[in-house]
Structure 1
């Protein structure tokens, strides 16, 4: 009787499962329905073609931008340059991650746990790493640049707030970490102020060199994974180094960290630091996606040179500037951007240095300051002849061997020529300047509706 009952249950289960099978038809693998989500602070740039290059007279006679019709796919772009406030979020995340790691390691060495109070509250969440997924192990090893610690697969306890007030340190071990490992030594401090040692704020990440892998005749996947580790704090001394015999100490002292400049574009950031920010922004978003059981988003990145120019034009065919042009003064008699007008009358455009990221009127794609304010890093390498050989579809002259990277848009210290949407310029990837910032893009996935075509 028991055997008959088991057979009956198996038969019912078989019938139920048959109803969910494909019945031999090609129905595809069923996945989750994908609904494109507009990233925060970004605008959708619809796919299209445009004439890239110098359609107007090349006054500077650089001869490096012959016209070429190209097509780019749809993508999202930040509506402003990345601001000091946004970049500080990256810096704060790295600082917190490093601090928590150092506290957790010392707590582990002392054998202290949450029940012991003090530094023990910052102990690793779980000593058993066997239950960590491959993703968890990878991401836990990817949070900050401290070199190999031996604790890469241990989860940090981020539910306990860090204490930065020296008068409220919970015990001497906590004070030891903060004083010896996070802050500058006393001999390097002045006016009684304790400052974070920004040289220790390093970010570590890895990426796959798809271009090299695609062109290689052989090799394993690991051969094309690149490791990066770099300091991510902006170089605030650029305000001094970029301009000799000029008093710019207030900008050096206050520009990046003071709330008065929170909505101004970040500067003093190298091309490599901008790339690291893109990696962190992707990780930061996907960590949240994972916690909510949602699909991962694709990566944030720097725009290609073609994407930048296409977005800057705002859909205006043959425009000299993002607003069309050919003049830099609008109908109201006011300058349309932040640059160096009238042979050095910097204040004529209502600005001396940079201005807030949402200043002046946006272009027809609702992007602010695609001309002036700060020049912007792109993902493309600079080659004077690149327009001759790049593809007409999603063109990009990317090269890991070429350290010269294209910057676009002109800045607060440039003359109007550099504000033109077709003007090309470059800077070396390890250089930081007081007039170069960046904005990020993200590829659009999915089908566009009629309103975005």
Structure 2
């Protein structure tokens, strides 16, 4: 019997050796094959070096640092500023998630599940124990009830559509959540209209301060994980607050939500809200990647100041504007961007406020409105002397202690000086303006081989 057992073991070993794909060679751990895709709505900015900063006199006396030759790695950048329509997709996702969470919590408190109908259909997915995997059962039994609310980590049931038509609410509990939790009160409504209470639209996420963790001499991983929760609805009142003694109510009332402005750049978004959008866009894409069994993509983020300037130049060395030359009027007599060309005459360039995100001609990297329309948030903190100490490779003066964040490109309300690719400006990270928007970037990780 012992001899038979040894023979069996030897036979199995022989089979495993003969079936080895490596043949005993060092071939590396075999992971999933990476099939990179060009991100939707983005353009590839090839790596390269350029002279960052102003080579001419600092006429505005804003203390720009001396010029510096730097190199940036390849990256993708949105070909336009993030539009109202694109940001509304973020808002709608948050509204959907907040509503489903409130419905699921009430269903849980009432002890209702999918079989009970009504609000029970919106119960957490783990309410239907017949569908739980071994992993889900373990997590429910061992980690449920932990956290601030006791509902962290419990998955929402997104198979059932939300009902927004008041005449079709399924039961009184569903009605309670919608009427009392999601909409503004009767006292705050007027003209018979009750809108969603946008103060409830909060997005919560975590991120890791890699820079601090890498330089820390001690501390555990959890010490560098930061948690953010903020209201993500744009501040539409910026159209009133940014201008004294000026009638801009139509922009306040219609600009963000009306379909007439869907393709216009979103404004009234702070730096922190722009960061939250980047986090959501990454999650939204990777949730889809996961559902299709594909590898995660790297994160979307705001561009560094150096990346923004490099992309704005469009490969033109020493150009004053994204289109190159020192003039803002073309040889046909047309303005090349949306800005304030003359004192008090905002409409001389055929635009009063913002214009569509794909208005005017793109630069040589096929990026639209890198000058004018709206100024754009970058990831970098503003320091007038930063060019003197930042690295020459992928420079970025990022500091969580510095609330002043660099904005670039100038806007519809600015004079031509602020449209120049090398002009620096800043705004505080918690501020929102009617003339500041943003676009996102993603690090380049290769392209799919089109020859195969």
Instruction: State the TM-score, normalizing by the size of structure 1.
Output: 0.93
Name the SS of the counterpart of 2:125 in structure 1. coil
Aligned to 2:221: 221
Tell me how far 1:169 sits from its aligned partner.
0.8
- The 1:131–1:233 alpha-carbon spacing in structure 2 relative to 1, beyond 3 Å, is farther
Aligned to 2:342: 342
Name the SS of the counterpart of 1:228 in structure 2. strand
- Partners of 2:292 and 2:273 in 1: CA distance: 29
Is residue 2:386 matched to residue 1:386?
A: yes
Aligned to 2:445: 445
Aligned to 2:333: 333
- C-alpha deviations, 1:365-400, integer Å up to 9, x for none? 000000000000000000000001100000000000
Is residue 2:297 matched to residue 1:324?
A: no
- The 1:340–1:120 alpha-carbon spacing in structure 2 relative to 1, beyond 3 Å, is same
- C-alpha deviations, 1:396-433, integer Å up to 9, x for none? 00000000000000000000000000000000000000
Unaligned runs of 5+ residues in structure 2 are none
Contact 2:381/2:402 (8 A) holds in 1: yes
Greater displacement, 51-60 / 182-191:
51-60
Is residue 2:192 matched to residue 1:192?
A: yes
Tell me how far 1:167 sits from its aligned partner.
1.2
- Partners of 2:85 and 2:48 in 1: CA distance: 33
Greater displacement, 70-79 / 49-58:
49-58
Unaligned runs of 5+ residues in structure 1 are 142-146
Instruction: State the TM-score, normalizing by the size of structure 2.
Output: 0.93
Name the SS of the counterpart of 1:239 in structure 2. helix
Contact 2:340/2:414 (8 A) holds in 1: yes
- C-alpha deviations, 1:89-129, integer Å up to 9, x for none? 11111111010011111112222222222111111112368
Contact 2:54/2:67 (8 A) holds in 1: yes
Tell me how far 1:262 sits from its aligned partner.
0.6
Name the SS of the counterpart of 1:26 in structure 2. coil
Name the SS of the counterpart of 2:229 in structure 1. strand
Name the SS of the counterpart of 2:126 in structure 1. coil
Aligned to 1:14: 13
Aligned to 1:278: 278
- The 1:16–1:348 alpha-carbon spacing in structure 2 relative to 1, beyond 3 Å, is farther
- Mapping of 1:85-164 within 5 angstroms? 85-127=85-127, 131-132=134-135, 148-164=148-164
Aligned to 1:308: 308
Aligned to 1:67: 67
| Superposition CA RMSD, Å | 2.4
Tell me how far 1:448 sits from its aligned partner.
9.8
Is residue 2:190 matched to residue 1:180?
A: no
Tell me how far 1:24 sits from its aligned partner.
4.5
- Partners of 2:38 and 2:448 in 1: CA distance: 12
Number of residue-to-residue matches in the alignment: 442
Name the SS of the counterpart of 1:126 in structure 2. helix
